[in-house]
Amino acid sequence: MSDSIFAMKNVSSEEISLKNLSVQFGGVRAVDNFSMTLYPGELVGLIGPNGAGKTTVFNLITNYIKPTSGEIFFMGKSLLGKSPDEICRMGISRTFQNIRLFPQMTAYENVELGLHNVPHYSLLEAFVRTPRARRAEAETRKRALELLEMVNLKDFAGERASSLPYGLQRRLELARAMATSPTLLLLDEPAAGMNEDECNELVKLIRQIHEHMKYTIIMIEHHMNVVMELCKNSRIYVLNLGSLLAVGSPKEIQTNPQVIKAYLGERKHARYNSNAGSQ
């Protein structure tokens, strides 16, 4: 099925494509022959039961884990053999399932780091802080505060990241990911641990970022409301036990019997059907 998509569209316009990606840890195939293609500006969801290999897909894209076989192309260039930092500088940024901020740095410094992952001045200039270096730092500061404002964290700029409440840490991670000026954003469970209200707020924020910054976004999420809402005009990929189970619009996914089976199991599946029948 994925082959037909490749045939239909011009290959060079793809933002990212994973082709027959597999990775094996010992005897376990964490990701098995997974393919996925995104075009610029798309926002797609990646869902699946726990242990389906969703985060592993992100780790493969950022080359934190090396694939056993398969290929990854980003803007027409292969990502295999590139180090995670190179991949980041090519324009792929991510957040983490278990928040990975720099705990002892302030919120502002966390965002700033994404901006100066390659320092804007030479080492010698760092020692004497030439006017050029100071200007570069002032510019970085301005940009970091802008990003913090975008995720409504400006008031917390001076707070230590570890002292922020959980929900704000998630948003800070988002701001930090945006700081590396990516074109592709990988969001790993941005709504994890959030309540209904926070989820709605997050949906608004992600949609705003997506429209405003023209990012391509892949989002792993367990909150179905969030995924269904954000991906309503695009697709959702469903992973189960490492392989692609289904792909389609939120509606198609919600009614796909295989997806329901993977999530709820065989017996509950039968009950679900009978419930659906009675309604």
Partner 1 sequence: MGYLNAIIILGGINIIAALGVAIITGYTGLFTIGHAGFMALGGYACAILVTTFHVPFAIALIIGGLFAGLCSFIIGVPAFRSQLRGDYFAIATLGLSEAIRLILNTTYKVVGGAFGFMGMSNLTTVPVVVIAVILALFFAHMFVTSQYGKNCIAISQDEVAAQMMGVNLLRTKLIALFISAFYAGVAGGLMGFYMAYLSPSFFTITRSSDLLAAVVFGGIQSLIGPTITAFVLVAVPELLRVFSEWRLIVYGLLFVIIMLFRPQGLLGYVEMNFAFARRWWNAVFTPHQAKQGTIKGDQ
Binding interface with partner 1 (CB under 8 A): 62, 64, 83-85, 88-89, 93-94, 96, 100-106, 108-109, 112-114, 116-121, 123, 126-129, 133, 136-137, 140-141, 145, 154, 157-158, 176-177, 179-180
Of the pair 105, 241, the CB lying nearest partner 1 is at: 105
Smaller CB separation from partner 1, 65 or 224: 65
| Smallest separation (angstroms) from partner 1 to the CB of 117 | 3
Please say which residue, 113 or 260, places its beta carbon nearer to partner 1.
Answer: 113
Q: 208-231: buried (b, 16+ CB within 10 Å) or exposed (e) per residue? A: ebbeeeebbbbbbbebeebbbbbb
Here the tokens at position 170 are 């998630």
> 196 — phi, psi (to 5°)?
-55, -50
Between 101 and 230, CB nearer to partner 1? 101
Instruction: Kindly state the smallest distance separating residue 154's Cβ from partner 1, in Å.
Output: 7
Least Å from the CB of residue 48 to partner 1: 22
Q: Give the DSSP H/E element, type plus range, for residue 184.
A: strand 184-188
139 or 252, CB closer to partner 1? 139
Nearest distance from C-beta of residue 179 to partner 1, angstroms: 8
For residue 84, give the amino acid letter: P
Residues in a beta bridge with 28 = 25
Give min distance, CB of 224 to partner 1, in A.
27
Contact 89, 110 (CB under 8 A): no
- Residue placing its CB nearer to partner 1 in the complex, 30 or 186: 186
Q: How far apart are CA 263 and CA 267, in angstroms?
A: 11
Beta strands in the chain (DSSP E): 16-25, 28-38, 43-47, 69-74, 77-78, 92-94, 184-188, 216-220, 236-240, 243-248
Question: Minimum Å distance from CB 10 to partner 1?
Answer: 29
